[in-house]
Amino acid sequence: MTEPVSLPGDRPVATVVGELRERNRPLSTVALVNLGLAVLFTALLAVDGRTLLGRSVWLKPWKFAASIAVFTATMGWLLPSLRLGDRAERTVSWVIAGAMSSEILLITAQAARGVRSHFNVATTLDASVFALMGISITVSTLAVTYVLWRTLRTPPAVAPAYRWGISLGLLVFVLASFEGGLMAARGSHTVGTAVGGEGLPVVNWSLSGGDLRVAHFIGLHAL
């Protein structure tokens, strides 16, 4: 027997945000904070003229804040439907919340310094920041992998289409996270071209060669 599923639907934004807060306080808080940061970074894009590799130093923090807001809000909404148990759900929530908070903090700090956050090992400090970012993402990915394993082992009592959507979304997310690991191992996200060349607006995906960020981005947001 399946249980009714709560979906945002066409309800007012305030109602959806309120329910998200009730469903998962840690992840909803991180989502709202990052949404606020995205607004702040939008303003900084307009007033801070510093650039890095031909783009505003605040473009990457803006992209990551928006991405983290979507990811944490989605996980916060889904987790109560998966019936992991109070302790497991609480642990997963706080692990992801902590990892994502660390990630955006480190990216923001590097942007404020006017240096790259990813693939930057120019100094001991930069290398340490990049390593900590890698640890944060790895921890978050392991938490999502655990959720995927629990979902496959004990399917939640929801409509089959909803259950399959969650399972496949989590699976593609995990696979796309490995793509991030591949980029870290290579020390670059581009293939056959230099970093910093001509790219698509906003996302800045390379127009002159291969770019591993495309699959990484699409996969992460398969949720």
CA angle 22, 27, 30 (to 5 degrees): 120
Which pLDDT belongs to residue 56? 93
Rounded Cα distance between 172 and 7, Å, is 21
Look at residue 3 and give its three-state secondary structure: coil
Which pLDDT belongs to residue 187? 61
Rounded Cα distance between 176 and 79, Å, is 20
pLDDT digit string, tens, across residues 129-141 = 999 999 999 999 9
94 pLDDT band, cuts 50/70/90, is: very high
Rounded Cα distance between 212 and 182, Å, is 9
Which pLDDT belongs to residue 144? 94
Rounded Cα distance between 72 and 97, Å, is 7
Burial 85-102 (b: 16+ CB within 10 A, else e): eeeebeebbebbbbbbbb
pLDDT digit string, tens, across residues 122-179 = 999 999 999 999 999 999 999 999 999 999 998 888 888 888 888 888 988 888 777 7
Which pLDDT belongs to residue 65? 96
